[in-house]
Structure 1
């Protein structure tokens, strides 16, 4: 074989290797991207309900109307990108999720319209909305697990833990804001059936575990410290929610904590590549 032919053969082999690596990389990142999109959709679903309660609490404050619209738009866009899943079961679950989401979205918009026009809503439609949101969260979690099962891809533990912490913080915000937005002195219910004490204790325990993870870098430690500072600022209010309700404060800080936790997930993802 001449040196020129050898060079061509080596070049061909090199290009083939690059194509193989690219294909394998795409196969690995595709489910990761879908799972991240689904996670963000779940956060937006919870956020839309929390913002609706705050819209009620703050007597039609348009900031919360805008937050509702943004959450609905973001979640709808996320669902639209999840229609090309590879697994048959994942596709079926995704289709069911779209149907549930469309019903929930329409009902939420109708309730916002009712609040705008008459200044109050009846209890039952709001209770139904909260129940729909719970079904969306349950089905989306099933889809999240099914994507991993069908693709063979597993979300790295620290990333998964930080995502669960984001969802937990949003569930706490939903629960807290719903207590302040009671209709006829009746608790409307949030996105999690557990007590506030259980939710708060779980968040504190998981935050401590994340902070003690040996894989933490200077960057992730700084982010976790930021989360801890903000969490400690509202933790007492959350534990004593029946004594002095501060929904605006909890809503504001929970949004900031979730932003920090999503940043933490990204930092863990960058460190694992």
Structure 2
């Protein structure tokens, strides 16, 4: 084969290969960004729950440390979200950055007030909860926009497990707010949902995930471990008005979320 013919063959192969390589690269970048954004959202939710625990447990310093750790985690994930696939995602990323800066200032001010005077007024706490909800909505919009502009979709099982983590985090925050007597947090659409409804939704979705035929024996075992921890606090969540156990719910919800996130990582690794 002549050198000219070889050059033509090579150019043709390159023309076909480069778009495929670029598409794979964009998908990988989008997958990383979406994971970071999901982890950011979990940590942002947790900052509010940590604050409620700090408030309700009368300034217990372990929750002050947890607030600092959750804030650091959000800032780390936000700093890692540098490459956005399109203009829409870039604009939302910028909005998220500004919203987070304002929320962080408000949260730090409330923590300082608790440390210095031992209490906070209810209105600033309600404002903080509303601002946290705005962050969650904005991060969800960015999550959707990244998928749209990158033409990449999070695999179904990975997405379902991530949503389960977020639901558990939301339940934990809601429970902590009730225990701290600062009123129910905003769940999802802006109105507080009954705790019984949230618990029922989590249990139903977890059962479906646990029984999904795509699970390997190892994944089934992992889900069984999460389910065992869930059953330990399920009744306490349902009967939150009778016997408040915020420390127990906080501790187990954290381990449940860790377990689900490990399962989610296994789904993502196998594109499920």
TM-score of the two chains, using structure 1 as the length reference: 0.91
Say whether residues 1:168 and 2:171 are aligned partners.
no
Kindly state the Cα deviation for residue 43 of structure 1 after the two structures are TM-superposed: 0.2
For 1:206-217, list aligned pairs within 5 A: 206-217=205-216
Kindly state the Cα deviation for residue 83 of structure 1 after the two structures are TM-superposed: 3.5
Q: Contact 1:48–1:71 (CA<8 Å) still a contact in 2? A: yes
Kindly report the root-mean-square deviation, in angstroms, between the aligned alpha carbons of the 2 structures. Answer: 2.2
Alpha-carbon separation, structure 2, partners of 1:198 and 1:145: 26
Q: Contact 2:211–2:220 (CA<8 Å) still a contact in 1? A: no
Name structure 1 gaps, 5 residues minimum. none
Aligned residues: 268
Alpha-carbon separation, structure 2, partners of 1:42 and 1:233: 25
Alpha-carbon separation, structure 2, partners of 1:20 and 1:179: 53
Kindly state the Cα deviation for residue 151 of structure 1 after the two structures are TM-superposed: 1.3
Name the structure 1 match of 2:138.
139
Name the structure 1 match of 2:183.
188
Name structure 2 gaps, 5 residues minimum. none
Flag the 1:8–1:149 CA change in 2: closer, same or farther, 3 A.
Answer: closer
Kindly state the Cα deviation for residue 263 of structure 1 after the two structures are TM-superposed: 0.3
Say whether residues 1:72 and 2:71 are aligned partners.
yes
Name the structure 1 match of 2:122.
123
Q: Contact 2:113–2:120 (CA<8 Å) still a contact in 1? A: yes
Say whether residues 1:156 and 2:151 are aligned partners.
no
For 1:1-273, list aligned pairs within 5 A: 1=1, 22-182=21-181, 187-192=182-187, 193-272=192-271
Structure 1: which 4+ aligned runs deviate by more than 4 Å?
4-22
Q: Contact 1:174–1:191 (CA<8 Å) still a contact in 2? A: no
Kindly state the Cα deviation for residue 19 of structure 1 after the two structures are TM-superposed: 6.3
Provide, for residues 244-266 of structure 1, a one-character-per-residue CA deviation record: whole Å limited to 9, x for no partner: 00000000000000000000101
Provide, for residues 55-108 of structure 1, a one-character-per-residue CA deviation record: whole Å limited to 9, x for no partner: 112211111111111111111121122242121111111111111111110000
Alpha-carbon separation, structure 1, partners of 2:12 and 2:268: 31
